[in-house]
Structure 1
Amino acid sequence: MRANRMLRLVLLCGAVSPVLLIVGLLWDGATRDGYDQVRHGVSQLTSGDGGVVARLLFVSCGALLLAAVLIGSRSPRSALRWQRRLLGLVAVGLVIAGLFPTDPALGYPPGARDAVSVAGALHQAGGTTLFAGVVAAAVVAGRDARRHGRSRWAAACLLTAWAVAVLAVTAGVVFRAVQRGVIGSGPAGLLELASMTCALCWVTAAVLRDRPAPGTP
């Protein structure tokens, strides 16, 4: 019984950790000197002198989410098994994004020149894994929900997949356009934050829906 309570606590912590990550990043961005939440990407919080805070947030969220996915329900439905695998991939992406800081860009950190590094490339790989994993998991969950008559959850999943993909791609386009001088400024950071918020809120909802029923050993 005590072991079951501990497992449920880990599951709950893993489920809510994505939302807490967003809250933590918002607070970190609001208190970081030289950081503009509209212009600068969320990933840029992992760089600079205070980057350790954001990196710890990413790693801890990813680790808790992975634990929650591993101890979640064991539905025999193939779609839900794939959903859990994809959410595990999302968790790994979060950990990678936290372990490796992104490169300086768009004047942040203050005084740092734009640069390209192996660590930055690995961070981008982690971020891509995160967003692609959420989109794929949401599509899988949405199609499964539609087949089983859960129209509201199906709509929420498919809308999430669409919103995350469109916002993330648009953020990347705006970021590159500013970086290359095509436009003077743009809301790349705000778009990325919106995409990440949609993605991680959906992850929380998906993990909570997939949790074992009360009394399940």
Structure 2
Amino acid sequence: MTHTLGASRSLAPAPPTSRPAARWTAAGGVLAGPLFLAAGLAQGAAREGFDFTRHAISQLALGGAGWIQTVNFLLAGALLVAGAAGLRRVLDGGAGAAWGPLLVGVCGVSFWAAAAFPADAGAGFPAGSPDTATLSGHGAAHMAAGMAGYLALCAAFVVLARPLADRGHRGWAVASRLAPVAVLAGFAGSAASVLAFTAGAGLGLLWLTALTVRLATTPANH
């Protein structure tokens, strides 16, 4: 009798992760990019002297109204970290469940670091700043945080291609492996145009939104 009860207990399936709950917690990864970019675009349009062809969104954290962009960085980081936790629940121990969310979480932490270490002034923004920027310690830390965060995000896209394919979204899986190429190409093109950098960064955040929605709304094929 004891053996029978023990066997029955061991064969009882573990309760599955609640998909509505998993979707809710993954919402941070869905919202982070659109909200961050919308806030940046709105500020860029409103701030005197800001020019998207000459200035990076990070520079909006400078000047009297810079606190708005600082809060934007902090909020985006919090949403990304929350989204990483939700993504882990969505994947529920399947392919990519360990490294994918961890890498997204690293990207979220990098936004907090970017808020703590603001970018350098330059290209005449904020008003009165020199046209040529001088790299400071906090400016270097800001750049390092951004690069580390986006490299982690690009790695996450490659890792998460597997669960996409497992769910039958093979086209999405291919796109997820190619997305890092487009993001990094934008960063490489920043030497010629700040817009290239902004486009690459924006593409990365928006792809995370699309990818998270796709994974959260499609059950795994067990």
Which bracket does the TM-score occupy, shorter chain normalised? 0.7 to 0.9
User: How many angstroms apart in 1 are the aligned matches of 2:103 and 2:175?
Assistant: 17
Q: Which runs of 4+ in 1 moved over 6 A?
A: 4-7
**Aligned residue number for residue 44 of structure 1:** 59
Of stretches 103-112 and 88-97 in structure 1, the one that deviates more from structure 2 is 103-112
Amino acid at match of 1:110: A
Aligned residues: 197
Select the residue among 83, 94, 97 that pairs with 1:80.
97
Structure 1 length normalisation: TM-score? 0.80
Determine if contact 2:95/2:162 at 8 Å carries over to the other structure. Answer: no
Of stretches 112-121 and 90-99 in structure 1, the one that deviates more from structure 2 is 112-121
User: How many angstroms apart in 1 are the aligned matches of 2:57 and 2:205?
Assistant: 13
C-alpha displacement of 1:78: 4.3
User: How many angstroms apart in 2 are the aligned matches of 1:14 and 1:206?
Assistant: 9
**Change in 2 beyond 3 A, CA 1:109/1:129:** same
**Aligned residue number for residue 185 of structure 2:** 166
Select the residue among 18, 22, 39 that pairs with 2:37.
22
* Other structure's SS at 2:72 match: helix
C-alpha displacement of 1:97: 1.1
Of stretches 17-26 and 38-47 in structure 1, the one that deviates more from structure 2 is 38-47
Determine if contact 1:51/1:101 at 8 Å carries over to the other structure. Answer: no
Amino acid at match of 2:74: V
Select the residue among 105, 110, 117 that pairs with 1:100.
117
Select the residue among 147, 150, 159 that pairs with 1:128.
147
Q: Which ranges in structure 2 are unaligned for 5 or more consecutive residues?
A: 1-18
Q: Does residue 139 in structure 1 map to residue 151 in structure 2?
A: no
C-alpha displacement of 1:206: 2.8
User: How many angstroms apart in 2 are the aligned matches of 1:6 and 1:138?
Assistant: 23
Q: Which ranges in structure 1 are unaligned for 5 or more consecutive residues?
A: 175-186
C-alpha displacement of 1:17: 2.1
Q: Report % sequence identity.
A: 30
* Other structure's SS at 1:34 match: coil
Amino acid at match of 1:32: R
Determine if contact 1:101/1:119 at 8 Å carries over to the other structure. Answer: yes
Determine if contact 2:32/2:79 at 8 Å carries over to the other structure. Answer: yes
Larger radius of gyration: 2
* Other structure's SS at 2:97 match: helix
Determine if contact 2:161/2:172 at 8 Å carries over to the other structure. Answer: yes
Task: Trace 1:142-161 onto structure 2 (pairs within 5 A).
Answer: 142-143=161-162, 145-146=164-165, 149-161=168-180
Determine if contact 1:59/1:99 at 8 Å carries over to the other structure. Answer: no
Q: Does residue 109 in structure 1 map to residue 126 in structure 2?
A: yes
User: How many angstroms apart in 1 are the aligned matches of 2:209 and 2:34?
Assistant: 7
Select the residue among 194, 209, 212 that pairs with 1:204.
209
